[in-house]
Structure formats: C-alpha cells, structure tokens
Structure 1
Amino acid sequence: MEQVNDTAPQPSGAGQFSIEARVSDLVRLGIIGLFAYWTLELIAPFALIVIWSAILAVALFPMFDALSRLIGNRPVIASIVIVVSCLVLIIAPLALVAVNFADTVQALIGKLRTEDFTLPAAPAAIKEWPVIGERIYNTWNQIAGDLASTVIKFQAPIREVMGVIVAKLASVGGGVLSFVASILLSGLFLTRATPLAAAVQLLANRIGGEKGVGFARLAGSTVRNVSRGVIGVAFLQTLLCGLCFAFFDIPARGALTFAVFMLCVMQLGPGLVLLPMIVWAWFSWSYGTALIFTCLAIPITVVDNVLKPILMSRGLSTPMLVILIGVIGGTLSHGLLGLFLGPVVLSVFYELLRAWAWPAAASTGSEHELAAGFDGQVQRSVQ
C-alpha cells in the first residue's frame, strides 16, 4: 500500500498569498497606530480635564441619580444643580482666601509705609526650651529689634522665595481653571450617564470578558469610596476647622481653612495647621480659652482616622491597606489626580493578582461587591 506524502510542496501561489495577507495586516496596523498616535496628540492638552470629568461624574452619580428621581426624572436640571453647587463649593473658599490675603497684604503695605511694622518680642518661655531655646530666643529678638536691616541682608533669598511663590500661585490658578472646566464637562457626562456606562461596559467586555466588566465596576466603586473617604472627610474637617477659626476670631482664617483642606486632600491631615495653632494659643490667649480651643482642635485632627477606614472600605472586596497605599502613593506620585487613580490601579491589580494566584477563591468571591459599581446605579435609574 502506498503511503500518502503529507509533506508535498504546496503551490507557490498560496505562499505568495500568505505573505501578501501578512503585509496587508501590518499596513493596516500601521495606519491604525498612526491615527491613534495623532488622536492622542490632539487630545493630550485636554486629557487631564477629561479624566477629572470622568472621575467627578462617577463620584457624583449617586447624588445625581437620587436628585433626578426626586424631581421627576429630569436629568438636565439635576445636572445643572450639581454643577452649580460644586462651583460654589470651589469658588466661595477661594474668594474668601483671596479677600483675606488682599486684606493682609494691604495692611502690611500700610504698616511698611508708615514704618510702624515691628515684630513682637519673643516669649520668655522659649528661652527655657532645651538645646535650641536660647538660640531661637536670641535670633527672634535680634530680628524683631532691627527688622529693616534683616530684610536688606536677606533680600536676595527673599526675592527668590517670592518668585517661587508667585510661580506656584500662577500654577494653582491654572489648576483651578482646569478644575472648573472639568466640573462643567462632568455635568454633560452625567446627563449622558446611561449610554456612557453601556459603552464602558461594552469596551470592558471586549477587552476582558465578564472579568473586564467586573473590573470596570470595581473601578467605579473605588472612585466613589475614595471620594467619600478622602474628599468627603476633607470637607468635613475643613468645615469644622473653619467654624472653629471663626468662633475664636483667628486672623487669616480664610487662608488657614484653605490650607487645612489642601492638607486633608493630600492625606497629611489638619494637624500641620492645628498643632502650631494650639501652641500659639497657649502663648497668646488665656489658659481657659486655650484649653477650650485645644479640646476642639484635637478631635478635629483625629476624626479622619475613624471615618476614613469606614467610608473607603465600604462595599469593596479589596483590603483597606491596598486602597490606603494607592491613595498615599498616587498622591505622592501624581498629585491630586493620583489620589483617585492610585487606589483604582492598585485595586484592579490586586483583583488580577488574586484571580491569577487563587482562581477558585476569585471565582467564588464577592460578586455582589464587584457589582456595586457604576452600572448598578445606572440600571436603577433606567428602571
């Protein structure tokens, strides 16, 4: 019996067709890559605004959904109310800071013109501090006694520091304008929440199947929990500090309140402002008033240690430690934007690692916790 030779040479036309098909695929991929590169170049100046808008839309969607149903399923009106409220929350503190800063600068300029600007003498208690007390006391009194010569002596470094401050203020102003644009765009995203959520789920399904949809939901839940645990607690601490500053009539309270908010958002806490103020209060006020201020300031300083773990880990299967590392690391690496992107990236990576290392535990894990994301809210709003 003759054996069939399976390794018979194929016609050269088939090989030529295979090479041409591969070349055609490479050309198509090259064209797609070129258009993708051009697209990224075009949208790069607006990428930060769009990312912030998406984060704000995901974080504000539960409030938007509840308000829209409350006023009779009117998403446009609900979106306008939320956008205006967010703008007021941002512009009002900044306006207060600007007014207080302008008043302080105007008073300082007036004292300099009348040559009536002097520093108070150092408290005698500083002299008794160990190691550095004597040096601080003498230096303070020397500067206070001859302020004009001290300013002339250090005018070069003072000029450099003022230049850095002006540059930082300009950068902050540009960031505020970008954030205002992000709030306006997030209002548009909220009005189109249902089709946008469907598009995100479709894209996630094309990339990773059901797991991709779960990761998209996890990202939405993480953004909302971080916004509650970080931004919400920061607003609460800032409000309490502002009321405390106003009650005790502390000077420059607008700037101090804004500094507290920024420190809380950066996960540094209000202690960097409140603790020096407690020391200043014991030197400047009566013992009774200083004691009352201390009893109010210390609980405000530590309230985030209680509320933040409760709010940030609520409804998530990701451990609190992973989310906290993502918040701190993202903030240190990428600023305020990293505050949200850090925990999202680490949470998704943790779930990917768990699905790879322990597939049985991941498959039988908390499906309900993964489903507590953006799509669940959208489905309820559609119903």
Structure 2
Amino acid sequence: MDRQTEQRQSKLFVNNMVESAIRIGLLVLLLSFTYDIIKPFIIPVLWGAIIAVALLPVTKKLERSLGGKRGLASTLVALIGISILVIPFVLVSGSIYDGVAHTTEVLQSGEIKIPGPTNKIAEIPIIGDKLYSIWNLFATNIEKGIQQFLPEIKGFLGTIASILGGALTSLIMFIISLAIAGGFMAHAEKISGALETVAVRTVGKKAEQWANLMAATIRSVLLGVVGVAFIQSAIIGAAMFVFKVPAAGLLTLATLILCIAQLPALLIVAPVIFYVYSTGDGTSTTIFTIWALAGGLSDNFLKPMLMGRGVDVPMPIILIGAIGGMLFAGIIGLFLGAIVLAIWYELFLFWINYETQSELTELKQSKEEVEDYRI
C-alpha cells in the first residue's frame, strides 16, 4: 500500500513538474515575442515619459492661461519642443551641407587655395610645429597632402556621415518622443493613477516617496545637465556662426555631445580660438574669444542654479550614464542614460537611508522598552 502511494505521489509530482515547465515555457515564449514587438517603442516611450514628467509643471501653468484646456496646452508644449529641436537641426544641417557643397565645387573647379599658416601657429605649445608643417603642406602642395593623409581623410568623412545619419535618426526619435509626451501630459491624472496602483503593488507604502524622488531627479538632471548643455552649445554655436567658422554646425553638435557627457566644452572651443586667432584680426579674435569662453565656462554658474532645484547627482554618475547611454542607443541615449542612472542612484540612496532610519527607530524603541522595564 505504501509503495503504491509513493508511486502515485511520484507520478503526480512528475506530471506537475511537466505541466509547470510547459506553462513556464509558454510564458517565456509569450514574453519573448512581446518584447520583440514592443522593443522599437521602448526608448521613445521611456523618453516621452521622462519629458512629460519634466514639462508637466509648464503644461499646468499654460493650462491655467488657456482656461483649463489641458489637451491644447500639452499640444502647444509638444509643438514648441519640436520646433526648438527642428529649427537648430535645419540650421546645422544647412551649414554642413553648404560646406560640403562649397568644397565639392572647389574640388571640381581645381582652384583650391588654402591660406598658409602664420608664425603664430608654430608658437603654440606642444602641437605648434606639427600643426604648422601639416597646414603648410596642404597650403603649398594639396595633392601631396591628400595622398599622404588619404586614410585619415576617408575615416574622417566616414565619421561625419555616420554622425549625420545618427543625428537624423535621433531627431526623428525626439519628435516621436515629444508627441508621446504630449499624450502623456494630456492624460497625466489617469496615467498617474494607474502607475500609482502598480507602484504600490510593487514597492509598497514607499511608492509615493519613490515617485516624488524620481520626478525630482528627472527634472533636476533634465534642467541641470541637458538644459545647461543646450544653453552652452547655443552660445558657442552662435559665436561660430557669426564669425563664420568652418563646419560651425558640426562643431556645435560636437559641443552639445561633450557638454551632455559632462566633458569641458573647452576641448572644442580652445582649438577653434587658436584657428580664429591665426586667421582673423585682433578685434574680431578678441570678441570671439570672450564670447566662446563665456559659453564654455557658463556651466559653472548655470548648473548650481538649475540643478539646485532638484537633487544633487555626482558628475561621475552623469558621465557614466551619458557615455553608456550613447553607446547603447546613440545620441538619444546620451540624454536617457544620464537620467536613468541618476534615478537609480537616488533611489539607492533613498533605500539605504530609509532602511537605516527604520533600524535606528526600532533600536531606539527597544532601548526605551528596556529602560521602562528596569524602572
């Protein structure tokens, strides 16, 4: 009898294991198919949600001015954001296209004239002599210079084409994300209620505190990192366009990327100042130098003002997030990575502090109970 019972239990156990394995396998297969379907939309939706959280206060203020029309307010905010993105992109692209077209015309005409370097170039510390010799080679014998540096020129042109293609893709992604953000802001209360239910189920009683911390982190990083980067690149780019620096559009885009990655804008500004200094007159060079340096150093007072409104995130966290995000998802990942990593950093600190405070409170209560018992 015991043997038959054991056999039945063993058979039942095997049947349950097989049935569970089949169910789990089907669930994994369903999740895999679902992920493949929604994968192209994950980054735009996530970025749209981040933009919605950051711009919701602006939308609410505009809603009051429009007589409570939330849909119209969110649409206007999304359209303004798209305009802010598209107009500079068109200007930068136009600058790059004009430069390429002009270079093509010059090459086809055969009348290539490169001004020779001045002695000021040779006086630049460390790189002056090398830069002077290369510049002088292209100014005196451009065919020989092209033959000598042909692999580097091909690599440079390929890099530019790759950057432009990535920038166009990122612009489209930004536009889609802003449209999604507009929808999120128009129905913020309903979405917030649904997310709150999920958050309470997942996190527990701390859900509201976590949500407030995430919103504060998003606004802080978006203003203090991305906002400052836009302002810096706009100031420096305007100086380059006004003084007609070659490839001003491309240099402006590179400045924006450096600033978001928390690298100093002077890495680009300094060589451009040397170029203007070697080719322009004293007055224009001085004006450009002051203008460009002001833009490059403006983050020193902009970041404390803008990031002070939210939370303080260490720069290494932003740097790792920005670079890792860019490697993962291109230019849009540059923005997204910094924000996501900052959110995780703040949530981790909150979790550590919360648990520590809870333990200290329990310890204090236990000590008081012991003292009461002794009395």
Q: TM-score scaled to structure 1, two decimals?
A: 0.80
- Give 1:37's aligned amino acid: S
Whether contact under 8 Å (2:262, 2:315) holds in the other structure is no
Measured against aligned partners, the alpha-carbon deviations of 1:121-152 in whole angstroms (never above 9, x if no partner) come to 12113334456544433333223211112223
Whether contact under 8 Å (2:219, 2:310) holds in the other structure is no
Matched, 1:331 2:330: no
Shift of residue 234 of structure 1?
Answer: 2.1
- Give 1:82's aligned amino acid: V
SS in 2 for 1:210: coil
| Aligned match of 2:111 | 116
Matched, 1:256 2:251: yes
Whether contact under 8 Å (1:264, 1:270) holds in the other structure is yes
Return closer, same or farther for 1:21/1:347 CA change in 2, 3 Å cut-off.
farther
SS in 2 for 1:158: helix
Identical counterparts, % of pairs: 28
5+ long unaligned stretches in structure 2 = 327-333, 363-375
Return closer, same or farther for 1:70/1:173 CA change in 2, 3 Å cut-off.
same
Whether contact under 8 Å (1:122, 1:140) holds in the other structure is yes
Matched, 1:272 2:263: no
Return closer, same or farther for 1:131/1:187 CA change in 2, 3 Å cut-off.
closer
Q: 2-side partners of 1:362 and 1:333: how far apart? A: 39
| Aligned match of 1:150 | 145
Query: How large is the RMSD of aligned CA atoms in angstroms?
Result: 3.0
SS in 1 for 2:204: helix
Q: 1-side partners of 2:232 and 2:354: how far apart? A: 38
Worse overlay, 266-275 or 128-137: 128-137
| Aligned match of 1:87 | 82
| Aligned match of 1:183 | 178
| Aligned match of 1:353 | 352
Return closer, same or farther for 1:249/1:128 CA change in 2, 3 Å cut-off.
closer
SS in 2 for 1:227: helix
- Give 1:341's aligned amino acid: V
| Aligned match of 1:225 | 220
| Aligned match of 1:165 | 160
Shift of residue 93 of structure 1?
Answer: 0.8
- Give 1:230's aligned amino acid: V
| Aligned match of 1:285 | 280
Out of 192, 204, 209, the residue aligned to residue 209 of structure 1 is 204
Count of residue pairs brought into register by the alignment? 349
Whether contact under 8 Å (1:93, 1:258) holds in the other structure is no
Q: 2-side partners of 1:250 and 1:153: how far apart? A: 26
Measured against aligned partners, the alpha-carbon deviations of 1:77-135 in whole angstroms (never above 9, x if no partner) come to 11211111111111111111121112111211221122211222121133344565444
5+ long unaligned stretches in structure 1 = 1-10, 364-383
Shift of residue 292 of structure 1?
Answer: 2.9
Q: 2-side partners of 1:93 and 1:66: how far apart? A: 26
Q: 2-side partners of 1:308 and 1:204: how far apart? A: 31
Return closer, same or farther for 1:21/1:340 CA change in 2, 3 Å cut-off.
farther
Return closer, same or farther for 1:360/1:301 CA change in 2, 3 Å cut-off.
farther
Out of 55, 61, 66, the residue aligned to residue 60 of structure 1 is 55
| Aligned match of 1:378 | none
- Give 1:330's aligned amino acid: G
Whether contact under 8 Å (1:108, 1:117) holds in the other structure is no
Whether contact under 8 Å (2:217, 2:310) holds in the other structure is no
SS in 1 for 2:73: helix
| Aligned match of 2:72 | 77
Measured against aligned partners, the alpha-carbon deviations of 1:300-358 in whole angstroms (never above 9, x if no partner) come to 22221222133224244xxx2x4433211101211212021110111111111222344
Return closer, same or farther for 1:269/1:82 CA change in 2, 3 Å cut-off.
farther
Shift of residue 196 of structure 1?
Answer: 0.9
Return closer, same or farther for 1:42/1:62 CA change in 2, 3 Å cut-off.
same
| Aligned match of 1:370 | none
Q: 2-side partners of 1:145 and 1:308: how far apart? A: 47
Q: 1-side partners of 2:310 and 2:126: how far apart? A: 51
Worse overlay, 87-96 or 226-235: 226-235
Measured against aligned partners, the alpha-carbon deviations of 1:142-179 in whole angstroms (never above 9, x if no partner) come to 23211112223443443344334323322332222222
- Write out aligned runs for 1:32-51 (5 A): 32-51=27-46
Whether contact under 8 Å (2:232, 2:295) holds in the other structure is yes
